[in-house]
Structure 1
Amino acid sequence: MRPRLRFVAWLAGLGLLLGALLGLAGAALWLDLDATERAALLALPEGRGALLVVLGGLLLVPFAVLLRIGLAGYPEAAARLVEEVDIIRRVNSGHRLKPAGARPMRRLARALNAFAEAHGALQQEVKQRIDEANAHLEQEKNRLAALMSELAQSVLVCNREGRILLYNSSASLLLEPGAAEAVGTPVGLGRSIFAILDQRLIVHALERLRQRLAQHSPRPVANFVTARGAHLLRAQMVPLQDARGELIGFVLILEDITRSVELNSRRDALLLQLTEGSRAALGNIRAAAETVQQYPQMDAEQRQRFGAVILDEAQRLSQQLQQTLARHADILRPQWPLEDMLASDLLLALQRNFATVLGVTAHYGGDDRPLWLSLDSYSLVQAMTQLMGALANACGVREVELELAGEAGFARLGLRWNGAGLEPEVLHEWEERPFSLGGDDPGASTLREVLERHGGELWCQTDHAAGVGRLCLQLPIIEPQSQPAQSSPAHGRPVYYDFDLFSQPGQTPELDERPLSELAYTVFDTETTGLAPSEGDEIISIGAVRMVNGRLLKQECFEQLIDPHRSIPRESQQVHGLTPELLAGQPGIAQVLPLFQRFAEDTVLVAHNAAFDMRFLQLKEEQTGVRFIQPVLDTLLLSALVHPGHNPDEHRLEQIAARLGVQVIGRHTALGDAMVTGEVFLRLLPLLAERGIHTLRQAREASQKTFYAKLEY
């Protein structure tokens, strides 16, 4: 009950008590009087009724003053102390009580502050010991996180129900919804893998894993191929088991095989084309040759005519093969894993290898030109080192100059030395000589094979006049693949609005009974052109962040500016800083809401003063066809629930954040406010649990009883 209502109730009760006491005293006096005295007493108040009422009211004034002082000094001060002690104990140990009320209550507040200081010091000591004890565990976790983030493979870890527990950046990039599937579900902790990949394939692979585990297979692995938009993915599923060998989850290792499948298809089509296209020419050649062989006595003119047929068909077939090889060189060349590398870095690697392996000094001054190559750098450096060793033995070269030039889409790397040059026949012989890559097979590759993998050419030059020899290696230049930029997770409005938070169609009995700590949330906020959605104000920004298992996932954010296609009042611009120029060209609300709905699916919505934001979303249902039916929790109502003794101004987002020890960053931006709201919500959860509110249903029902929820919309 609010303090003012409590005071009125106490005052009414005191009035009734005084009236009852006076009534009892008057009744006793009346019974003791005789008839004459009673008549005189009844005649006494005649004409003095107003005076008696005033005197009665004045009699209540001192009692009311004393009662108000007593309530403020003791019960109200005690209730506020209880609320603030809960904040210190459960949420913000740095919070301190403000002494108020009667002298004993102020002394109690100061004593509690002293106790809080001692308690905080003990907490700090315990925290320090826990941090020291967990240092090794944290180090192992960091190693795992670093390993996952740097893996080139796309890796996801899921529980038995298909909820994502862990994923790396490669998986996020690989499974990011493309333009053709703009409303596809993004990867995120707590999301279902079945909303991202084909559920039937995953369930079938899980069944195969269970069978292999039951058969005690030494390597229980399941593989399948699935599609994600325009990409074809090969998936390898590995089981996760507990100490008893029970299947508790699985690991998915994904690989994009779109390019390789495309190359294989093109290679098959090319093979068919070459087979069918060569059949006629080969038939003509065979027929002409058989005719010449069967009739050896034919005259010279006929023999020459058949020879011309054979020559023409052979030339046509040769020309066709050359054109095909030139047009489809990318699919005929052996596929090999290559990496992007600067040409200057390749020369530096050669410089070091020549010196350490061969003792040959290589001079290279460096080059700032960003010439990017696609290389298997290890095999190329090993092959060129062997070539340099052969050159040193054959020509006595102990010192070379490394050169770099770029021309017409190719990088030309040169080895220049003083002395006799190299003959082309010798170079061709060296190109066919096998060399070892350090494995078990010493003849695994030749220099020619390495060059073919890279689409490179090698030749030698000799300047006899200057006495200089040179080897030239030419490799195609590529455009390096740039990684997409990672999005950084980083006004007064009505306290209520015309929207019923407590009747969402997505609320189910099963969801209502789940503990608050086990639910997944989307904490969101909007910035708008004004405060009156029913009068045409529009959303101009939506920011949201996901919360799973009591953690605010700051890397899983949604942030989008929106073009409202209307003017923005200057006073609104001064609050959120969003100008028409900044919003021009941004997508409209019809394009943004489906994306936000997909981001927030299967979660409970959380916002501060949520009815305001939900009203804007509700008014766009007909235009966009998007409905947000999931349950909604409001940190404004939850704050009023756990701190009923605080006045309305103390339930503003900034005030709650300060009270609960949340640092406010990015205020009046949609994503910034969503982050602050999420931190506030996390700190409200233990305070709700302290009041016996553990499930979603309990939180909703308790919120309905707060003062703000009872206001007429």
Structure 2
Amino acid sequence: MSLDKMKQTNRFWKFVFFALAATLVVITAILSLLWQALSREEGRILISLANDYFLYIISAVFICIAVAFAGLEIIFITYIKPLKKICDEASMIYSSNPSHRITINGNKDIKALSYVINSFADLFENLNKNITEQILAARKKTEEERNLLAAIMAELPQGVFICNKCGRILLFNSLAKKIFSQESKSLKAEYFIGLGRSIFHLIDKELIGHAIEEIQTRLKNEQKSVASYFITPIHTGHLISVETIPILDQKKEMTGFILTFQDVSDDINTYDITHKTLVTLKKELSKHILLVKEELIQSYDKNRMNSSGRLPLIKILDQLPRHHERVSDIVLDAILTKVPLTKLLLSDFLNSMKSKADSQYGIKLNIIHQTENNRIQADKYLFTTALILLFKNLSDIILNNEFNIASLKTGNRIIFEITWQNRLSNKNQINKNQVEKLLYKRFNELPSLFYILKLNKAQLRIICDSFDFCSQINIITRAEFKTPLREKLRPPVIAGSRPEFYDFNLFKTEDENLDLLDTNLRTITYTVFDTETTGLNPDGGDEIISIAAVRIVNLRIAYQDIFEELVDPKRDIPMESYKIHGINYEMVNGKKDIRTILPIFKQFTSNTVIVGHNIAFDMKMLKVKEKTTQIKFSNPVLDTLLLSAILHPVHERHDMENIAKRLGVNIIGRHTALGDAIATAEIFLKLLPILNSNGILTLKDAIKASKKSYYARLKY
């Protein structure tokens, strides 16, 4: 249908050409028959007359053709062309801009038709306004509740992300954005937060995957509390405590999940300081107790001692270290109440670790003996992964993939005794220094083993022989909290059991696992961008001085998810360019250069279709920087200039101002990168329903149609 629309301008003239050709054929046939009916003398007379009046005959023929052409041109201008324009503009009224009106010069009939259509457009616009007012009135109470919810979400003491089952962010609050904001001005690509973006760019996918597996197991076992907890470092250098809660539909199938989290970095620092203080206090206390005991023994006669050979006061002094240790545990537990350590059945923990060590690295763990029905307090994912990676590193050094692990309970501690068979060669043995280095080595994206042990309130002790070779490692962890904590009851959230207060309903969307070219235009996430430059010659040394973008998610412009940067071009800005965009050298001097900005911008545009107006120029500006930045943009691209030319071929001008005027878009901040990007996004959203009504439904359809436009031939 869109292809037919492109050919409408030529159809009339094709019809005229074939009609004239047919007429000439008929006239020629008639003349041929008449010629055959004439006698030889009559034919000679006609040929003589034709020779005598040849110029007059030819002139008459050309005059007739010119008159016919002029008449046909008048018919085309006054009837055919206005009718085409009326069709285009009428579809624009009901598809995109109800306030648009047809203003066409033509004959009386065309003007009358335009008047009738405009009258219906007035009724249509008023009807739309009345319906909108009724909807707004009906939703007023819902909007109040929604605003109240938004205010509550903004003031929650915890960060919140709500995601669909594919990990796409559906909702987040201001504290979540604050916690994950990039604090350091590093050269790395920033971690953008926005609706429709993947949560896995912010939190390790394996961590969330482990939490979801744990949740699904609890759902299968019909446990009342199904939430999963973990702790993880994030790119800002902070440590967060995360609670994962499933969202279920009415069929009890998981459609998404909620992540609530808080920064526990200060708690860990406080734990460190308090632990060091308590250790120092214990040493000082032991030292002074020893002195007091010596004084007491010397000051009393041995005959006055009780039958046990100890003074009652000395017995009290002997109990002080145990009391100190008990109080220390309570204090340290109270500090880390935000750190969600889970009660793990010891047998399940060891068997799970044994299975994973074997499947991941081929490491064999021999569980010699274990205490029955005991539990440890630990972050299951971090603690298990860190211990397995410790075994892996030990195995690489000692060239032995078999370890023995025994668990013993002493008081409120569980001790894991890790032993192995040393080789005869000293090269394959490990000394104390090598083990200590492993303590501070980071494993993949995890923090160091020392840090993980500290988070799990555990310690590592190295057992060495007389030659300082390590023969055993003990991991000492907590058996249970001294201060009993009531387990939180976290049932799943049933998605259909409460009112909907959100505009972004993405729970039913699937991840981008289908071919993007065959994806419906209405379901794609877009990045709309624009640049301001020093000039119009990318190959001639002109540079980008400003780049801005905004995202379209679920057919809405995400105004809170924007990209805007001034760029130092490392050259002067001509006055001609300054007059257009108002950016001078002082404004960009000292800003980040294009080599720093492009990696960040590429991260911003990831997994989206790029949209722009006359985007061939902007993409050329990016392409000439591929060699110096090693950044290549392979996203699919759509151009509102080409789309407008396809949809409205009867309109001669397709610059941003004229398209915006036709579609009822108000441009704010023209010739600023962000202003033009937002205007282009609004234009694109207005064009989408017109594209659909013309049979352009998928990305492949839009790209194919764009290539047929004359403007697609323009090169930069």
TM range (shorter): 0.5 to 0.7
3-state DSSP of counterpart to 2:250? coil
Work out whether residues 668 and 679 of structure 2, in 8 Å CA contact, stay in contact via their aligned partners in 1. yes
Work out whether residues 271 and 335 of structure 2, in 8 Å CA contact, stay in contact via their aligned partners in 1. no
Alignment counterpart, residue 702 of structure 1, candidates 696, 702, 705:
705
Deviation larger for 606-615 or 43-52:
43-52
Whole-angstrom CA distance in 1 between matches of 2:513 and 2:167: 21
Offset at 1:178?
Answer: 3.6
Work out whether residues 234 and 255 of structure 1, in 8 Å CA contact, stay in contact via their aligned partners in 2. yes
Distance change >3 Å, CA 174–CA 181, structure 1 → 2:
farther
3-state DSSP of counterpart to 2:565? strand
- 1:113 alignment partner in structure 2: 118
Alignment counterpart, residue 626 of structure 2, candidates 621, 627, 648:
621
User: What code does the residue aligned with 2:256 have?
Assistant: G
Alignment counterpart, residue 671 of structure 1, candidates 658, 674, 680:
674
Is residue 64 of structure 2 the alignment partner of residue 59 of structure 1?
yes
Whole-angstrom CA distance in 2 between matches of 1:79 and 1:635: 21
User: What code does the residue aligned with 1:592 have?
Assistant: I
- 1:693 alignment partner in structure 2: 696
Is residue 202 of structure 2 the alignment partner of residue 215 of structure 1?
no
Alignment counterpart, residue 257 of structure 1, candidates 256, 264, 275:
264
- 2:276 alignment partner in structure 1: 269
Offset at 1:173?
Answer: 1.0
Offset at 1:73?
Answer: 2.1
Offset at 1:563?
Answer: 0.9
Distance change >3 Å, CA 111–CA 223, structure 1 → 2:
same
Is residue 192 of structure 2 the alignment partner of residue 186 of structure 1?
yes
Deviations 1:207-262 (A, max 9, x none): 11122222222222111111112111110011112222221111100111112112
Whole-angstrom CA distance in 1 between matches of 2:217 and 2:576: 66
Whole-angstrom CA distance in 2 between matches of 1:552 and 1:286: 76
- 1:556 alignment partner in structure 2: 561
Offset at 1:657?
Answer: 1.1
User: What code does the residue aligned with 2:576 have?
Assistant: E
- 1:527 alignment partner in structure 2: 532
Is residue 38 of structure 2 the alignment partner of residue 33 of structure 1?
yes
Work out whether residues 267 and 336 of structure 2, in 8 Å CA contact, stay in contact via their aligned partners in 1. no
- Provide the identity percentage: 37
User: What code does the residue aligned with 1:157 have?
Assistant: I
Offset at 1:544?
Answer: 0.7
Which residues in structure 2 correspond to 1:407-446 (within 5 Å)?
Answer: none
- 1:579 alignment partner in structure 2: 584
Work out whether residues 542 and 559 of structure 1, in 8 Å CA contact, stay in contact via their aligned partners in 2. yes
Distance change >3 Å, CA 333–CA 213, structure 1 → 2:
closer
Offset at 1:17?
Answer: 3.3
Whole-angstrom CA distance in 1 between matches of 2:187 and 2:163: 23
Distance change >3 Å, CA 531–CA 294, structure 1 → 2:
farther
Which residues in structure 2 correspond to 1:107-146 (within 5 Å)?
Answer: 107-146=112-151
Alignment counterpart, residue 635 of structure 1, candidates 635, 640, 657:
640
Instruction: List alignment gaps of at least 5 residues for structure 2.
Output: 1-5, 304-330, 338-511
Alignment counterpart, residue 570 of structure 2, candidates 559, 565, 568:
565
Offset at 1:18?
Answer: 3.8
- 1:231 alignment partner in structure 2: 238
- 2:26 alignment partner in structure 1: 21
Deviations 1:598-630 (A, max 9, x none): 111111111011111100011111111111111
Offset at 1:140?
Answer: 1.7
Alignment counterpart, residue 195 of structure 1, candidates 171, 176, 201:
201
Whole-angstrom CA distance in 2 between matches of 1:283 and 1:625: 69
3-state DSSP of counterpart to 1:249? strand
Whole-angstrom CA distance in 2 between matches of 1:508 and 1:131: 37
3-state DSSP of counterpart to 1:613? helix
Which residues in structure 2 correspond to 1:599-614 (within 5 Å)?
Answer: 599-614=604-619
User: What code does the residue aligned with 2:632 have?
Assistant: R
Offset at 1:2?
Answer: 6.7
Work out whether residues 3 and 76 of structure 1, in 8 Å CA contact, stay in contact via their aligned partners in 2. no
3-state DSSP of counterpart to 1:554? strand
Distance change >3 Å, CA 599–CA 711, structure 1 → 2:
closer
TM-score, structure 1 length as denominator? 0.67
User: What code does the residue aligned with 2:203 have?
Assistant: L
Distance change >3 Å, CA 660–CA 4, structure 1 → 2:
closer
Instruction: List alignment gaps of at least 5 residues for structure 1.
Output: 297-330, 338-506
Work out whether residues 247 and 255 of structure 2, in 8 Å CA contact, stay in contact via their aligned partners in 1. yes
Offset at 1:3?
Answer: 7.5
User: What code does the residue aligned with 1:258 have?
Assistant: S
Deviation larger for 158-167 or 266-275:
266-275
User: What code does the residue aligned with 2:557 have?
Assistant: L
Task: Provide the aligned length of Structure 1 versus Structure 2.
Answer: 508
Distance change >3 Å, CA 623–CA 197, structure 1 → 2:
same
Offset at 1:150?
Answer: 1.7
Which residues in structure 2 correspond to 1:160-559 (within 5 Å)?
Answer: 160-179=165-184, 180=186, 182-229=188-235, 230-275=237-282, 510-559=515-564
User: What code does the residue aligned with 1:695 have?
Assistant: T
Whole-angstrom CA distance in 1 between matches of 2:114 and 2:203: 58
- 1:656 alignment partner in structure 2: 659
Distance change >3 Å, CA 137–CA 55, structure 1 → 2:
same
3-state DSSP of counterpart to 2:522? helix
Whole-angstrom CA distance in 2 between matches of 1:190 and 1:59: 66
Deviations 1:252-279 (A, max 9, x none): 0011111211221333334344545776
User: What code does the residue aligned with 1:65 have?
Assistant: A
Work out whether residues 15 and 60 of structure 1, in 8 Å CA contact, stay in contact via their aligned partners in 2. no
Work out whether residues 248 and 256 of structure 2, in 8 Å CA contact, stay in contact via their aligned partners in 1. yes
Offset at 1:151?
Answer: 1.5
Work out whether residues 271 and 336 of structure 2, in 8 Å CA contact, stay in contact via their aligned partners in 1. no
Offset at 1:285?
Answer: 6.6
Offset at 1:100?
Answer: 2.6
Whole-angstrom CA distance in 2 between matches of 1:81 and 1:560: 42
Distance change >3 Å, CA 273–CA 2, structure 1 → 2:
same
User: What code does the residue aligned with 2:542 have?
Assistant: D
Offset at 1:595?
Answer: 1.2
Deviation larger for 157-166 or 507-516:
507-516
Distance change >3 Å, CA 183–CA 264, structure 1 → 2:
same
Deviations 1:322-364 (A, max 9, x none): xxxxxxxxx9999699xxxxxxxxxxxxxxxxxxxxxxxxxxx
Distance change >3 Å, CA 592–CA 50, structure 1 → 2:
farther
Distance change >3 Å, CA 20–CA 712, structure 1 → 2:
farther
Whole-angstrom CA distance in 2 between matches of 1:200 and 1:659: 50
| Higher-RCO chain (CA-CA 8 Å, sequence separation at least 6) | 2
Cα RMSD for the two superposed structures: 2.7
- 2:602 alignment partner in structure 1: 597
Distance change >3 Å, CA 565–CA 605, structure 1 → 2:
same
3-state DSSP of counterpart to 2:547? strand
Whole-angstrom CA distance in 1 between matches of 2:150 and 2:157: 14
Work out whether residues 99 and 107 of structure 1, in 8 Å CA contact, stay in contact via their aligned partners in 2. no
User: What code does the residue aligned with 2:30 have?
Assistant: A
3-state DSSP of counterpart to 1:37? helix
Work out whether residues 522 and 555 of structure 2, in 8 Å CA contact, stay in contact via their aligned partners in 1. yes
Work out whether residues 270 and 335 of structure 2, in 8 Å CA contact, stay in contact via their aligned partners in 1. no
Whole-angstrom CA distance in 1 between matches of 2:578 and 2:96: 35
Whole-angstrom CA distance in 2 between matches of 1:572 and 1:3: 39
Whole-angstrom CA distance in 1 between matches of 2:34 and 2:74: 34
Deviation larger for 222-231 or 164-173:
222-231
Work out whether residues 610 and 638 of structure 2, in 8 Å CA contact, stay in contact via their aligned partners in 1. yes
